[in-house]
Structures are given as structure tokens and as C-alpha cells.
Structure 1
Amino acid sequence: MLDTTRLTAAVDRFADRLRAAPQSRLQRGAAAEGLALARELSAAAQRIEAPDEPPRIMPDAGVFVVADQLTVAAGDLAEALRTAPSVAELDEAVRAVERAVTRARL
């Protein structure tokens, strides 16, 4: 079984920072970075779970919901990786989180 703690811990930290960020910071791009990452993680999970189907795009539910969307997407990917382990996919997801945090400037 693949240990996805690195992924969930990194996403939890980013989501907490998004939740604590002022609205102005979220609107200046932090929320967009969080949503882009949530969409990326969601698509990765869907590719693992249903490789023959095109991934559905996570909707934009607003700047105040993006942290929750990110947490859900990471949880879905972590579960998918537990059932179909891919260390490379896990490593790429963790790097994607790190890049998004840097771009969000939180």
C-alpha cells in the first residue's frame, strides 16, 4: 500500500493557508492557483480510476470554497493511489502542490 501522507499533509497546509488568506489575496490569484491544483489532482485521480473516460473538470465554486475543493481532490487522488499505487504519480502530485504554493504566494 502506498503511503500518501506527504500529499495529504502538503495539501492540508496549503488549504489552511487559503482558508486563512484575506479575500483580496484570494482574488489576486491565490484562489485561482488552488483551483488549478484541485483540478489537476482531480483529473489525476479520475485517470487512475477510469482511464478510458475523459476527466470531468471541477467547477469554479468561488474563492471561499477552493480550499475545500482542494482537500476533496487530494483525498480522491490519495484513495486512487492506494488502490492503484504509482510512486511517480504521487511524487508529481506533491511537486504540483509545492509549485502551486509558490505561485500563490501565501
Structure 2
Amino acid sequence: MLDVTPLVTAVDHLVDRLRAAPQSRLQRGAAAEGLALARELAARAQRIEFPDREPSPMPDAGMFAVADQVAVAGHDLAEALRNASAGELAEAVTLVEEAARRM
């Protein structure tokens, strides 16, 4: 079983930053970037868990909910990756870290 701690740590760090971000920063793009990340993480988790199904898109719940959406999608992906390859885990961590840099 794969240790998914690096992904959970990266997600939690980004979620903390989003929750602490002022409204102006969220409006300038951090919320949109967070939503795009949450959608990608959720789609990856769904493709692992349900490979024969098209992933359902994550809805836009508003800029004040985006941190929670990233948290849920990131933790879901971490659980799905427990039985995946180390490469898939590293790719997911990189995805989160790059999104954090863009924010």
C-alpha cells in the first residue's frame, strides 16, 4: 500500500492558504485556480475508482467554498491512490504544488 502522506500534506497546506486568503485574492484568481485544481483532482480520483465511467464534473460552489472543494477532492484522490503507482502519486503532488505556486 502506497504512503499518500506527501499528497495529503500538499493538499492540506494549500487548503490552509486558501482559507486564509482575503476575498480580494480569491477574486483575482486564486478561487478559479483552486476550483480548476479541485476538478482535476476529483476527475483523477473518479477515473481510478470508476474506470468504466466518465467522471462527473465538480460544480462551482463559489469562491468561499473552494478550499473545502480542494480538500475533499485531494483527500479522495489520496485514498484512491493508495493502491496505485508511485508515479501517479508524484504526479498528483506536483499538480497541487504547481497550482499553489500559481496562486
**1:49 and 2:49 correspond:** yes
* Distance in 1, Cα, partners of 2:36 & 2:88: 17
Segments of structure 2 that go 5 or more residues without pairing to the other structure are: none
User: What is the 5 A alignment of 1:13-32?
Assistant: 13-32=13-32
**1:97 and 2:96 correspond:** yes
* Distance in 2, Cα, partners of 1:39 & 1:90: 17
RMSD: 0.7
Residues 32-89 of structure 1: CA distance to partner in whole angstroms, max 9, x if unpaired?
111111111100000000111101110000011000010000111111112x322111
* Distance in 1, Cα, partners of 2:98 & 2:69: 18
TM-score by length of 2: 0.96
TM-score by length of 1: 0.94
User: What is the 5 A alignment of 1:9-88?
Assistant: 9-82=9-82, 84-88=83-87
Percent pairwise identity: 70
- How many equivalent pairs are there? 103
**Where does structure 1 differ by over 3 angstroms across 4 or more consecutive aligned residues?**
none
Counterpart AA for 2:21: A
